[in-house]
A and B are shown apart, each in its own frame.
Chain A
Amino acid sequence: MNRRTFLQVGVSGAGGLLIAFTVGCKDKDAPAPAPAPTPGTGDAPAPARPAGADLNAWIRIDPDDTVTMLVPEAEMGQGIHTGVAMILAEELDADWATVRAEHAPADGAKYGRQSTGGSTSTRGNWDALRAAGATARAMLIAAAAQQWSVPAAELTTEPGAVVHAASKRRARYGELAAAAAKLPPPAPDTITPRAPGTYRLIGKPTKRLDQRPKITGAATYGLDVRLPGMLFAVVARPPVVGGKLVKFDGTAARAIPGVKDVLQIPTGVAVVATSTWAALKGREALSVTWDDGAHAALTSEQISKTLRDLAPGGVTVKQQGDAPDAVKRARTKLAAAYEVPYLAHVTMEPLNATCDVEDGRCTLWVGTQTPSGCQKTAAEILAIPPEQVTVHSTFLGGGFGRRSQTDYVAEAVHVARSMKGPVQLVWTREDDTRGGFYRPAALSLCEGALDADGWPTAWVQRIAAPSILERFGPLEGGVDATAVEGVENLPYALPHLLVTYARPDLPISTWFWRSVGSSQNAWSTECFLDELARAGGKDPLEVRRRLLKDKPRHLAVLEAAAARAGWGAPLPEGRARGLAVHESFGSVVAEVAVVSIDAGAPRVHRVTCAIDCGTAVNPAQIEAQMESGILYGLSAALHGAIHLDGGKVRESNFHDYPVVRMREAPRIDTVIVASTDPPGGVGEPSTPPVAPAVCNALLALTGKPVRALPIRLG
């Protein structure tokens, strides 16, 4: 337990107990380093921060017994509000039927840093959440002890109430909340969280708290914000990467009924109107001259060539033994190049932000993974103190990393400062596909060697990929940690391993995309291992068992997935299984895919998934996240590619950037491996293994490796 957990006690608006505490600080287990954010870019993984500097989460117990958890993390579909509320409610011993979860406000500097990414929401805050819940419980007990003049040690709780068994007295939390609010919080070292065997809520499949508004249309997302007098804006941006505005003529646009204004902002030309439709019509009517800049000839082929040219000359990231020499001297060896394209995030709700700037104050309504980043971005643009910026966090129609950027928020601020009243800045799907930040393209040149018995002994992987982290400052040792994650820590016991990294200079903005570097590195490593297994005449499961002897978590999920999927059992004609295992964000996931070929394209029938995510807080949401992450990864494996032609992104909407639909969606079975370790991430770790599991099934089916994504069968 973290002895430095910082808490403050107060009285809630309704006269109950309010406990404020801090979550979401530095996650020392995060694979990526913690760079400092730069202006206008939103937040990077959290920098270290003095304990207790910011309070950003609250437990509120009102006299009517309602327990409200105000959660700083963004609810973008991952069920985090429910998960956080469960942990708090467990330690508080709350009656689950009375528990609500809401997004905590980012209102001025008194609130702490808020950022959701890296699957850290549960795993980074386990201790802090448990301590806060247990503290609240101790205070309610202390209040009852005072009222009844009995020693606190004689009191226990049952869900939602303090009880004194000897005198058969019982008081509901709501009845005690006001008295508890007047007590000082107990010393942190007197607080003992529950022992894992005694959990009542943790580990129990629990329905999400936010379902009902989402199925009735009542939930408010950023794009659903409606304010009196609100206008709508869209922006015309340079079509070529790195292009600039030369001049524009807004006369025709202004003539469109409903168009109120046409104005220049740093990223292009904004059209402001009384409806989204009028703004779109106005944008169509704009006449704009762009300077295409230096990259007007850039193509995907050139990017590929750059990666191929640079990959052999990278800096050393990891070296054990002498892998190049071992490969050179081996009788059986293999070389393969694995390449992936840039990918867009494509959140289902296109990017948007609503902003009102008035009298030196700024108010934002936005679905964001980083309310504090939005606050900072707005404050910098307007040159006002952060406490003059209020951020109302809405539901997010998907985040996947994209909403931890604040570029779209900055645009809203720039437009709103020139207008009277609130403005909703809307990105169309085309803007979203073309306007942005992408998962980096990447190339891995792999070489491997087998011993005389056909077991792998040496592995060389030379990676070339644009850097995500360089925007936060110089890379330590010239290596982008996100570009090598999953390779640098390859789990396989090999006497010889060499990993290198080369950073190309490319003008495409890159950003964190669900599971980050693992999204491509699990694919290259797990596919190459299957190629080596095949070259050595070994079963893919056998090879992994042997090379993972010292990795009990990997082995456990591998065995669990293989057993559940019936590894080795006969399948209907034309189908084959493929396997992959990968660790990311503190969790290990193995997946088995069953694949056939239908009209020249892969068809995935079933994916069996096993996860070790430490303590499984909410098994129902873990299952949902496994399904979600698998289909997200499958969309990329089967379809995802952002191409550049003449410096322009070729893709624009779902017709040319397709994603998995119902008819392509495999059935998914999930096994959760029991563990009492602190919780690991669940929002991302199921994404990396799916592409290699599918490609390995195709290798088994056709004998031909897949070495480029998206999968195109020749």
Chain B
Amino acid sequence: MAITLTVNGAAREVDAPPDMPLLWVLRDLLGLTGTKYGCGVAQCRACTVHVDGEAVQSCQLPVSAAAGKSVTTIEGLGAPKLHVLQEAWLAEDVAQCGWCQPGQLMSAAALLARNSAPTDDDIDLAMSGNICRCGTYNRIRRAIKRAAGVPDAGGTP
């Protein structure tokens, strides 16, 4: 079935079964492999993209539900210029293996878009859906605060 959607600002037409999750449409049909697969069951958010500005787990969204909508992936987040979060990620040397980081960045970008000065609790709430097996959480927290211009108190004793 032909489905039309906008991906990173460009109109794309894909021929996919309507129930194919957006994740596999992006990765396998459109070759946009920056969006990662980690669990397929809404547990890890490695697959996070923005659909009409909202953070969405693309492994859970049938492509038919994205028809006519505007999808932003990690490839689009920092184009043409790196997003302020990506700059902060570089400054904090966040990524280790890096597999989870596109999803982390897309979740963080959605957080900053609605909350320009997140607290530790806000970050816990917004980011605890994203798993990182390399344990980069402390750096992610610092990078979000750096991007937001919020000082980091360094936790409790």
New A-B pairs, 18, CB < 8 Å, besides A215-B98, A395-B97, A624-B136? A76-B97, A77-B96, A211-B93, A213-B98, A214-B98, A274-B28, A275-B16, A347-B133, A398-B134, A399-B97, A575-B157, A606-B155, A606-B157, A624-B139, A627-B136, A627-B139, A629-B135, A654-B39
A258-B16 Cα distance, complex, nearest whole Å: 10
A550 to chain B, nearest CB (A): 33
Would A223 and B33 be within 8 Å (CB), given that A212-B90, A572-B156, A662-B140 are in contact?
yes
B151 to chain A, nearest CB (A): 15
Stretch in contact with the other chain, from A22-30, A39-47, A334-342, A663-671: A663-671
Report if A141 contacts B (CB, 8 A): no
A398 to chain B: which residues have CB within 8 Å?
97, 99, 133-134
A572 close to B28 (CB less than 8 A): no
Chain A 211-226 residues near chain B, CB threshold 8 A: 211-221, 223-224, 226
**Chain B residues touching A, majority SS:** loop
- Considering only CB atoms, which chain B residue lies closest to A346 in the complex? B133
B142 to chain A, nearest CB (A): 10
A566 to chain B: which residues have CB within 8 Å?
157
Interface flags, A551-575, vs B, CB<8A=1, else 0: 0000000000000001000011001
Chain B 1-36 residues near chain A, CB threshold 8 A: 16-17, 20-21, 24, 27-29, 31-36
Count of A interface residues, CB-CB < 8 Å: 71
B141 to chain A: which residues have CB within 8 Å?
662
Q: Sample 16 A-B pairs with CB under 8 A, ordered by A number.
A: A210-B95, A214-B95, A215-B101, A215-B102, A215-B105, A216-B82, A217-B35, A275-B24, A275-B28, A276-B24, A276-B27, A348-B36, A348-B132, A628-B135, A662-B123, A664-B128
A218 close to B28 (CB less than 8 A): no
A627 touches which of B44, B86, B97, B138 (Cβ 8 Å): B138
A208 to chain B: which residues have CB within 8 Å?
93, 95
Interface flags, A622-653, vs B, CB<8A=1, else 0: 00100111111001000000000000000001
A524 to chain B, nearest CB (A): 23
**Chain A residues touching B, majority SS:** loop
A513 to chain B, nearest CB (A): 13
B46 to chain A: which residues have CB within 8 Å?
348
Specify which of B29, B43, B46 lies most central, judged by the most chain A CB atoms within 10 Å of its CB.
B43
A348 close to B138 (CB less than 8 A): no
A207 to chain B: which residues have CB within 8 Å?
90, 93
B33 to chain A, nearest CB (A): 4
B75 to chain A, nearest CB (A): 5
Would A216 and B137 be within 8 Å (CB), given that A349-B36, A655-B41, A659-B131 are in contact?
no
- Considering only CB atoms, which chain B residue lies closest to A632 in the complex? B135
A665 touches which of B75, B82, B95, B137 (Cβ 8 Å): B137
Specify which of B73, B75, B86, B155 lies most central, judged by the most chain A CB atoms within 10 Å of its CB.
B155
B155 touches which of A215, A275, A628, A667 (Cβ 8 Å): A667
A621 to chain B, nearest CB (A): 8
Report if B147 contacts A (CB, 8 A): no
A215-B102 Cα distance, complex, nearest whole Å: 6
B63 to chain A, nearest CB (A): 10
Report if B127 contacts A (CB, 8 A): yes
Specify which of B16, B93, B154 lies most central, judged by the most chain A CB atoms within 10 Å of its CB.
B93
Would A655 and B43 be within 8 Å (CB), given that A348-B133, A662-B141 are in contact?
yes
A214-B16 Cα distance, complex, nearest whole Å: 28
B31 to chain A: which residues have CB within 8 Å?
226
A403 to chain B, nearest CB (A): 10
